[in-house]
Structure 1
């Protein structure tokens, strides 16, 4: 039996998902959450196999929760289930450790199949999402080089940590973190943290 946690701030969506999955003999919805922090708490307590996570909710984004759940060592695999398919959303979710990225217009059989595939350890992507990822990789320019420390800093940025948190984790000062970020921005030719993570994913630097 594959145990599932539903995470969406709209009760109607959660009810619809529960109804879609209820007729599948090998799938069991064990809980529901309406926010990222609630999902993190329930995942730690219920230990589901799969978490279906909306991307944008009150209390923080789904990506932030995925990062924290991964850092906490929770064994569940998280599938993003959303209406958004912007490149930045997709790349941030994948960088945070999502096992899949699906859109809410998929059919019941497709959703059930994706959940089973994710539970087997596979990555599941909506066709349009897979196409976007391939296009991003195909169109990327010459790959820049980041130092080992710059890579470590950017990886922590991708996980949602602040400069102060990064400094504590790497045992460096916050001003040094800012210096590394400025160098990273220059090498990647970007102006902010999100763009840096997005471009680093394009070049497979993380």
Structure 2
């Protein structure tokens, strides 16, 4: 087989036995070759920067830095590399964050070998395709979140403090902003969420999981 037809793959998982099993599965088909392995995030970034593989199979719980940061660093070093996450869990919040970071696949480690091979081939042949093997519930939550309005980081900060019943002047002091700037952020929030009041905006943001619930704890 010609070298350009070979799909090069990097394996990132802290369990050597699991990596060995993946290597055997992938290389059994003849058109895939594992070009590097790593057991933690720092070693993974170094190895991928050296080998520039077509595909990375990345354990979501790899030791080291947070997985979304590892994904960002890999994409910065090797933009052409497609990242497929392997995980024991399919939590929708983490899945949403990883999709936002630019992964091209998220597979549960319970998938069959033919599903793994098909996923690798799919994202290699069509770099914009995203392959997911998760529960219907997680997928539904991710789809719901993707349709939610997008607020800027500062707007989210303002709204999170508004959810704590802080006034515009209190929010301004807390964030080191002018009160007029806070009012402008609130107007933008109302428009984006189609809200008619602060309470309405907070409730809609909570329903869309844009901000975290806040519970006031009164001192004894």
- TM-score w.r.t. length of structure 1: 0.68
1:123 to 130, 134, 139: 130
CA distance in 2, matches of 1:34, 1:99: 21
Aligned to 2:12: 7
Asked whether the equivalents of residues 85 and 105 of structure 2 are also in contact (C-alpha less than 8 Å), the reply is yes
Aligned to 1:22: 27
1:133 and 2:105 matched: no
Asked whether the equivalents of residues 96 and 142 of structure 2 are also in contact (C-alpha less than 8 Å), the reply is no
User: Which structure has the larger Rg over C-alpha atoms?
Assistant: 2
- TM-score w.r.t. length of structure 2: 0.64
**Which of 1 and 2 has higher RCO (CA within 8 Å, sep 6+)?**
1
For residue 25 of structure 1, give the secondary structure of its aligned residue in structure 2.
coil
Residue segments in structure 2 that go unaligned for 5+ positions in a row: 1-5, 158-174, 190-200, 212-220
Aligned to 1:80: 85
Alignment of 1:7-86 (within 5 A): 7-86=12-91
Shift in alpha-carbon separation, 1:189–1:59, aligned structure 2, 3 A: farther
CA distance in 2, matches of 1:110, 1:9: 22
2:108 to 103, 107, 116: 103
RMSD: 3.5
Asked whether the equivalents of residues 90 and 134 of structure 2 are also in contact (C-alpha less than 8 Å), the reply is no
Residue segments in structure 1 that go unaligned for 5+ positions in a row: 155-173, 201-206
